[in-house]
Chains A and B, each alone.
Chain A
Amino acid sequence: AQTVTQSQPEMSVQEAETVTLSCTYDTSESDYYLFWYKQPPSRQMILVIRQEAYKQQNATENRFSVNFQKAAKSFSLKISDSQLGDAAMYFCAYRTSGNTPLVFGKGTRLSVIA
């Protein structure tokens, strides 16, 4: 069964600094998607960034970027120029192609210090 592991239950970062959240996953599939979702206190899961496994280039969305290491099954999220609004739970998630369910990690709570 596929599993997603986030080894950092909590992280903190100073405003304007950079922080990296870690994620590893286990799968025997070759075609899959990886995601980072943000869940603020409002509870709604918001997609931060997406990576297709067949793409070697790391995805980037403004201040958010990933380091995707397929052989190592690692998918870390880097947040640059951290802002107070970045404070939230961050979930790493995986799904294979074919409309299969998302498998989530347990999350990392990110605090941003002013």
Chain B
Amino acid sequence: DAGVTQSPTHLIKTRGQQVTLRCSPKSGHDTVSWYQQALGQGPQFIFQYYEEEERQRGNFPDRFSGHQFPNYSSELNVNALLLGDSALYLCASSFLFANTGELFFGEGSRLTVL
């Protein structure tokens, strides 16, 4: 049973560029959340997708956008990259009606902005 998979694992961009990160949720999961983890910090919630719609959003600017596809996979897009966007981006999946509260995480995409 494949867990949460993310791609790419590492990428380097320059300021002002745009980036797309991808996530496939764990089999049976219908909800995908994205988190940003700066170096030495805990993850911060960006947004959550369910039924192809953004359901909840954290305190991130509109430069951060996303999408969820009919197969539940998801993309995170960041426009006009800033140096401060350098971080590990984690995707987490869950089943909306699960009663465990648990999220399953991927290994993350490490973004470096130069």
Interface size class of B (residues with CB under 8 A): 20 to 34
Residue among B50, B96, B101, B105 making CB contact with A52, cutoff 8 Å: B101
Known: A44-B107, A107-B42. A101 touches B101 (CB 8 A): no
The minimal Cβ–Cβ distance linking A44 to chain B, given in whole angstroms, is 4
Interface of B is mostly: strand
The minimal Cβ–Cβ distance linking A39 to chain B, given in whole angstroms, is 9
**Nearest opposing residue in chain A for B9, CB measure:** A43
Known: A50-B101, A95-B101. A102 touches B107 (CB 8 A): no
B-contacting residues, A19-40, CB 8 Å: 33, 35, 37
A-contacting residues, B1-59, CB 8 Å: 31, 33, 35, 40-45, 48, 50, 55-56, 58
A-binding residues in B (CB < 8 A) = 31, 33, 35, 40-45, 48, 50, 55-56, 58, 88, 90, 92, 94, 96, 100-108, 110
